[in-house]
Amino acid sequence: MYNSSICSFMFSTNILQPRMVIARLSCTLKTHQNVRIGHCTKVPRNVNMEKLQHGYLFPEFVHGLSTATGYKGYGPEQGEKALRKAISVTFYKDLGIKPSEVFVSDGAQCDITRLQLLMGPNLKIAVQDPSFPAYIDSSVIIGQAGKFVDKAGKYKNIEYMTCGPQSDFFPDLPTISRTELIFFNSPNNPTGHAATRKQLEQLVDFAKVNGSIIIFDSAYSAYITDDSPKSIYEIPGAREVAIEVSSFSKFAGFTGVRLGWTVVPEELLYSNGFPVVHDFNRIMCTCFNGASNIAQAGGLACLSPEGLRAMQTLVDYYMENARILVDALTSLGLTVYGGKNAPYVWVHFPGSKSWNVFAEILEKTHIITVPGSGFGPGGEEYIRISAFGQRDSIIEASKRLKYLIYQEQN
C-alpha cells in the first residue's frame, strides 16, 4: 500500500548523484545546441542539511505498514498518495504540478516554520508590510531577523516591502534590496488584496533576476472572485523560483483540524544545483510524522465533486458576510479594503493607534477585531475584521459597529 523506503530511496547516493550532476551542469554550462539550461537560484543550500547521513531512520524498516493487511498506524510523512494526487489535480490542473511535488501537512503555518528550518539562519528575507506575522516570527526564531529597532518598529535584517493602498498593495520592486527568500501572501492577510497576474509576473521576474526563492502563501485563494491568479504556478517560470503553501482551514472549515500542503517543484534548485525538494522531503521525514489519517480522509472527501460543491457554498456564505461588513462600514464614510477576494475587511482609522481602536470596539461593542500593527508597521492605522461566523452574528456586529462609529462621528 505504501512504499516503505519512501525517504531512503530519495537520498540514496546512487540515485541522487546523476541527478545532482545533471542539475549542476544545467546551471553552469553555456548555451549550446540541444542542451537545456536550468535556472539555479542564488540561495545556498543549508550546510547543516549536507551533514545528514542516509535517510531518516524509521521509514527504512517499516515494510509491514506498506500493505493493506499490515497497516497499523503511521502513513507516509509526505501524505497519502490519493490526497496528494487529488490536490495536484484539483488545485493545479494544467499547471504541471505532480503529486510527488505535493507534501501534505498539518497546516500552512507549520510548513512556514519547516521551510525556515530548511533554509537555515544565514539568509535574509523580505516580507510584505503589512503581512501575516508568522513569516517574521519564524525568521526571528531561526536567527535570520537580527535586532529589533524600536524606533522603526522593524527587525534590522528583514526587508519590509511596503504594500499599502498608495502602491496598489504591491511592493515597488526596483526599490527592494535583494534577499534570498521572499514571503508573499495572496490574497494578502490582512489587506485582502489579491495580486494581479501582471503583479505576479513582475514578482517572478524579480526573483529570477535576484536568484531568490518565493514562499507563496495561497491559504485564502479559494476566496478570489476576480481573474487574479490563485496559484503562483499560473505564472510562467514560477516553478524555478517558488514554493507554495496552502491550507484546508479557510475554505473547508478545517480550522483546528489541521490540514494543509506545500508544493516544492523539482525544478527549484539551490545555487549549487541541488534540488530543494529532496531536502524538504528530509525535513518532513525527520520533523513530522504525517498529518492525521482522519484529517486526510476529510481532505480527500472535500476534493470529491460533492465536497467541492459544499466548500464553494461555504466560501459564498462567508463572502456574503464580508459584503455585509463592507456595506455597513462604507456607509459611514470609512475607507474599507478587502471583502472582495478575501473573507475579512481592512478598515482605515486615520490618525488612530490600532490597539486603541481595538480596545474601544471591544469595550463598547464586545466585538473582537485584530489591531493592524500586529501585521507590521504598515498596519498601524488599521484594524482587520473577520467575516467568519454565523450570518445573524455578522449582521448584529455590523449594527453595533455602525452605532459606535456614528456616535464617535457625531
**CB under 8 Å, gap of 24 or more: what pairs does 350-355 form?**
350/381, 351/381, 352/381, 353/380, 353/381, 354/379, 354/380, 354/381, 354/382, 354/383
DSSP structure string for 81-128: HHHHHHHHHHHSTTTT--GGGEEEES-HHHHHHHHHHHH-SS--EEEE
Q: What share of the chain is helix, strand, coil (3-state, %, to 5)?
A: 45, 15, 40
Asked if 42 and 211 count as a contact pair (C-beta separation under 8 A), the reply is yes
Fold of 59-303: Aspartate Aminotransferase; domain 2 (3.40.640)
pLDDT of residue 215: 98
The residues pairing with 242 across neighbouring beta strands, listed in sequence order, are 214
CB 115 within 8 A of CB 279: no
Buried b (16+ CB within 10 A) or exposed e, 336-354: bbbbbbbbbbbbbbeebeb
List all residues 6 or more positions away from 370 whose beta carbon is below 8 Å from its beta carbon: 190, 358, 383, 384, 385, 386
Contact between 114 and 261 (Cβ < 8 Å): no
One digit per residue, the tens of pLDDT, for the chain of length 410 reads: 333 333 433 333 333 333 443 344 444 443 333 333 589 999 999 988 888 876 655 554 465 556 666 565 667 899 999 999 999 999 999 999 999 999 999 999 999 999 999 999 999 999 999 999 999 999 999 999 999 999 999 999 999 999 999 999 999 999 999 999 999 999 999 999 999 999 999 999 999 999 999 999 999 999 999 999 999 999 999 999 999 999 999 989 888 899 999 999 999 999 999 999 999 999 999 999 899 999 999 999 999 999 999 999 999 999 999 999 999 999 999 999 999 999 999 999 999 999 999 999 999 999 999 999 999 999 999 999 999 999 999 999 999 999 999 999 98
Interior angle at CA 125, CA 385 and CA 174, nearest 5: 90
Q: Which CATH number fits domain 308-409: 1.10.760.10, 1.10.1370.30, 3.90.1150.10, 3.30.9.10?
A: 3.90.1150.10
Give 47: exposed, middle or buried? Use CB within 10 Å, 0-12, 13-18, 19+.
exposed
Residue with cell 512556514: 112
Which H or E run contains 188?
Answer: none
Task: Please tell me the pTM assigned to this model.
Answer: 0.86
H helix runs in 266-385, sequence order: 276-287, 293-302, 305-330, 354-365
Rounded to an integer, what distance in angstroms lies between the CA atom of residue 64 and that of residue 1?
A: 10
Fill in the DSSP letter of residue 56: -
**226, 298, 243: which is closest to 43 by C-alpha?**
243
Residues 245, 112: contact at Cβ < 8 Å? Answer: yes
List the domain boundaries for the chain.
59-303, 308-409
Q: Answer yes or no: are the C-beta atoms of 347 and 339 closer than 8 Å.
A: no
